[in-house]
Amino acid sequence: MPIDNKYIKKQFEKSLKFYDQNALVQDLTAQKLIAELTKINNNFENILELGAGTGILTKKIAENLHYKNFYANDLVEKSKLYVQKFIPDARFLHGNALKIKPGKKMDLIISNAVFQWFSNLEKAIEILKLNIAPCGILAFSTFSPENFYQIKETTGLTLEYKSTQEIEEILTRQGFEMLFSTEFSKVLEFNTPLELLAHMKHTGVNSLSQTTWTVKKVKDFCDKFSQKYPKTSLTYSPVIIIAKY
C-alpha cells in the first residue's frame, strides 16, 4: 500500500491532543527500547530522535541518557512544543525524516513506532546511515506482520511490515552489526469495535487508509468485526532493534 506522508501528517496532527492517553503500547515500546539501549550504552555526544511526536520517547531519553546535543524530528511542526517540554534546548528538524539535514554525524539515531511508515525500509536505512557516525547506534521500535491482524482480516488494510529476521538481514546488508533484537505481543481489549476505532484514530493509525469513514462504513466495519471477533481486541506486535554501524 503506497504511503502518503501528507496524509499521515494530517492524521497525526489531529491525534496529538489525544495521543498520550491512547498510546499505551507506544509508551511500553519506548520503555523497552530505552531499557535495552542503556544496557549497551547511555552516553552519546549527538542524538537524533526521529518522529518525536508528543515526546513519549523524548522524556525517557532525557531521564536515562547522557548527551551533549539533542536533535528531534517530526512531520508535525507542533511536535517541537512537546519535545522542548522535556529537552528545552532540543534542536527541532521539521519534515520527512529521510530528507532532514542535521549538519553533523549522530552517535545515536533513535525512534519509537515510526519505521513501519517507511515504504521502503532498506532504502530508508541506507539514507539514515549517512547521518550516523562510525560506531554509532541505530535503535528503534517498529512492528511485525502480526500487528493489527484483526484489522487486516476484517478490512484488508495493513502496512507492509517486515519480520524481525527481515529487518536484521536488511541492517546486516547495510553494514550494521546487530546488538539486540526482540519481538513481543500486547493485546488491548475494548468494549466495542467503535471504541477500538476511536483508539486507532487517537493514535493516528487510521492513516492506514485515506478512505473517508462514513457512518455506513463504520457500521459495516463494526458488524463485520463483531461477527469475526466476538471479543473485541487489538493485537500489537512490537519489534525492538538496536544495531551498531
With cell 523524548, the residue in question is: 58
pLDDT of 118: 93
pLDDT of 23: 84
The x, y and z cell numbers of residue 2, run together, are 503506497
pLDDT of 203: 81
Question: What is the architecture, at CATH level 2, of domain 5-146+159-185+236-244?
Answer: 3-Layer(aba) Sandwich (3.40)
Strands 66-74 and 43-50: what pairing?
Answer: parallel
Cα 15 from Cα 170, distance rounded (Å):
31
With cell 485515506, the residue in question is: 210
pLDDT of 206: 53
- What is the full per-residue pLDDT of the chain (245 aa) written as tens digits? 455 566 566 666 665 666 777 789 999 999 999 999 999 999 999 999 999 999 999 999 999 999 999 999 999 999 999 999 999 999 999 999 999 999 999 999 999 999 999 989 999 999 999 999 999 999 999 999 999 999 999 988 888 899 999 999 999 999 999 999 999 999 999 999 999 998 988 886 654 555 677 889 899 999 999 999 999 999 999 999 999 99
pLDDT of 16: 67
pLDDT of 19: 76
With cell 493489527, the residue in question is: 148
pLDDT of 1: 47
Listed in order, strand segments (DSSP E) in 6-128 are 43-50, 66-74, 91-94, 106-112
Whole-model pTM above 0.75?
yes
pLDDT of 200: 87
Cα 155 from Cα 200, distance rounded (Å):
14
With cell 458488524, the residue in question is: 223
